[in-house]
Structure 1
Amino acid sequence: MKYKLIALDLDGTLKNSNNEITEKTKNALIKVQELGVKIVLASGRPTPGLRHEANELELEKYEGYILSFNGARVVDVKTKDTIYEQTLTVEEAKKAYDRAKEFNLACMTYSQDTILTEDIGDEYVCVEAKINDIEKQKVESFKACLKDPIHKVLLTGKPDYVASIEEEFKQPFGDTLSIYRSAPFFIEVMAQGIDKAASLDRLAQSLGIKQEEVMAFGDGFNDLSMIEYAGLGVAMENAVEGVKERANVITKSNDEDGIAYILSQEFEGVEY
């Protein structure tokens, strides 16, 4: 079998514009798992924010994986074991918070199954909670509530403002942290060197799977590293131009079952 591991971004890739995994795409992914292919959900979301999709695709049954926080953590869905993680220190998270307050940005991080924030009414904190279907928890002191492991600190602000201050915000940290905008209103702060490709490579190595046996689907800039890493890097038709330019293949859009379309070409018995 040419491909043994398939990495899937969620929003704009696995899920359509109605935030759903269609039956056609679901059936195709179940079929390849029956053939022995391993699936990994690769997202910037926190680990609990991927549980519904993992259940839909029966990843526990087929021994799939979750790559969350853009690669800061990789978990075996069946055993719940952490395969790999790279976290912020408490001091690094405190510095990110202090810098956020200088720019009047709302700030949040994650416990096991909640969002921790002083800014519980912030509109973009509410967006993050809704996207991931996890509860918000108001804390009196963000810095006082911090404890290991810290996979990500997420900052929010109005899109135009966030765009205007992003580079200035990052300056004091140099290359000691991974800091970038994942959405127009989000700035993500994570440990140095975090990206989907690095963690996907760790997972592939642990499974004895070669780089050329990996397939990856995505649509956004945070998917670019894994699309370039994979033996077959697939950009959705709705992907940003920079990703489409670097992909091996451009498939149909997330509203046209682009994942199922490629799988039907690469695996015998998969229908589109």
Structure 2
Amino acid sequence: MKAADAAARTSRFARGRFRAVALDLDGTTLNEVHALSERTLKAIQRVEAAGVQVILATGRPLRSLQPYVAQLTLQRPVPTVCFNGTCAALFDPKEAAPQVLLSRGLTRSAAESIIQMCDDRGWCASYCLPNSTSVCLTTELQAEWLQKFEEIEDLRQERVESLWELLEYEPPLKIVALAEEPFTQAAKARAMLPPGAAHVVAAEMHIEFLPADVNKGDTLLRLCNDHLGIRMDEVIAFGDNYNDMEMLTLAGEGVAMKNAKDELKEAANRVSEWSNDEDAVARELERLLEE
């Protein structure tokens, strides 16, 4: 863990020096059935009522965030970092659709290399754009993988005949590949791709291919500086997985869940006493509000 005094950092929230809370969703704010508990919902609402900006920062697609934003019923528009940093958007309850504030996608040549690699290795690849995600299925096994993934994201992807045809019109924000042993396969993918082509992130059942210089932390920084007028040292961030590394290290205080990856725990300012399934975010926010 960083050498910063966690107790001193924590007290800054109560004195109003943290102006924003950045919340990862899966494995952090959501419980193991990917839901917002009533306790977590109320804690987030209390934080906003105290004048703190609530930001959602997730690897999920933009469209899949709408149900959670609606459930929160916050009074102010909700800024979000989605697609693991390739896109930032604002959910305003007065508007029918979220406003995309910034996006940074893969280059055409990088996307070509990634799609070809997925084809060669039999991976189920999804082509992600701000308002749509498309997939080309070629085997029954891929269909099984995708069904599980869609259940987690609660979002159905559009079936297409070929991802190559999509590339003729618009390069993707990112490409997601469903694969067996994704952490092992991600290491192989990094070695196979041209140097600097993409930032490769592994998760429990998939590999994500992002633009080389993109991550959740950097996009959160741009969102805060350019659109919200908030400095990163005024942000407290919560996360659990490898894709939260940059966000937790750039924030004024980074808090890793008890269920977080060991590497993230080492990089964070502190580790929560609780897991996501024990309402860790709610408990942390309640503690900060009451001090």
> Common fold, TM-score beyond 0.5?
yes
* Aligned residue type for 2:70: N
1:198 — aligned with what? 218
- In the alignment, structure 1 residue 216 sits paired with structure 2 residue 260: no
- In the alignment, structure 1 residue 104 sits paired with structure 2 residue 122: yes
Deviates more, 1:27-36 or 1:143-152: 143-152
Q: Distance in 2 between matches of 1:114 and 1:83?
A: 17
Using the TM superposition, give the Cα deviation of residue 218 of structure 1 relative to its aligned residue in structure 2, in angstroms.
Answer: 0.6
Specify which of 204, 229, 233 is matched with residue 254 of structure 2.
233
Unaligned 5+ segments in structure 1 are none
- In the alignment, structure 1 residue 258 sits paired with structure 2 residue 266: no
1:89–1:148: 8 Å Cα contact kept in structure 2? no
Using the TM superposition, give the Cα deviation of residue 138 of structure 1 relative to its aligned residue in structure 2, in angstroms.
Answer: 2.0
Which structure's residues are more often helix, by fraction?
2
Length-normalised TM-score, structure 2: 0.84
* Aligned residue type for 1:66: T
SS at match of 1:234: strand
Q: Distance in 2 between matches of 1:127 and 1:39?
A: 29
Q: Distance in 2 between matches of 1:23 and 1:236?
A: 19
- In the alignment, structure 1 residue 248 sits paired with structure 2 residue 263: no
Using the TM superposition, give the Cα deviation of residue 3 of structure 1 relative to its aligned residue in structure 2, in angstroms.
Answer: 1.0
Q: Distance in 1 between matches of 2:282 and 2:157?
A: 35
1:113–1:135: 8 Å Cα contact kept in structure 2? no
Q: 1:168 to 1:241 in 2, by over 3 A?
A: closer
- In the alignment, structure 1 residue 19 sits paired with structure 2 residue 39: no
Using the TM superposition, give the Cα deviation of residue 81 of structure 1 relative to its aligned residue in structure 2, in angstroms.
Answer: 2.3
CA-to-aligned-CA distance 1:9-60 (integer Å, 9 cap, x gap)? 111110112222111111010011112211111111111121111111124x
1:44–1:70: 8 Å Cα contact kept in structure 2? yes
Map 1:66-85; keep pairs closer than 5 Å.
66-78=80-92, 80-85=98-103
2:179 — aligned with what? 157
Using the TM superposition, give the Cα deviation of residue 216 of structure 1 relative to its aligned residue in structure 2, in angstroms.
Answer: 0.3
1:114–1:134: 8 Å Cα contact kept in structure 2? no
Aligned length: 265
Q: What's the RMSD between the two structures over aligned residues? A: 2.0
1:118–1:139: 8 Å Cα contact kept in structure 2? yes
* Aligned residue type for 1:259: V
Q: Distance in 2 between matches of 1:37 and 1:63?
A: 12
Q: Distance in 2 between matches of 1:203 and 1:70?
A: 13
1:50–1:132: 8 Å Cα contact kept in structure 2? no
1:234–1:249: 8 Å Cα contact kept in structure 2? yes
Higher RCO structure, 1 or 2 (CA under 8 Å, sep 6+): 2
Q: 1:35 to 1:163 in 2, by over 3 A?
A: closer
Q: 1:256 to 1:158 in 2, by over 3 A?
A: same
1:235–1:250: 8 Å Cα contact kept in structure 2? yes
Q: 1:189 to 1:28 in 2, by over 3 A?
A: same
Deviates more, 1:7-16 or 1:50-59: 50-59
* Aligned residue type for 2:214: I
Identity, % of aligned positions: 28
2:106–2:210: 8 Å Cα contact kept in structure 1? yes
Q: Distance in 1 between matches of 2:81 and 2:201?
A: 18
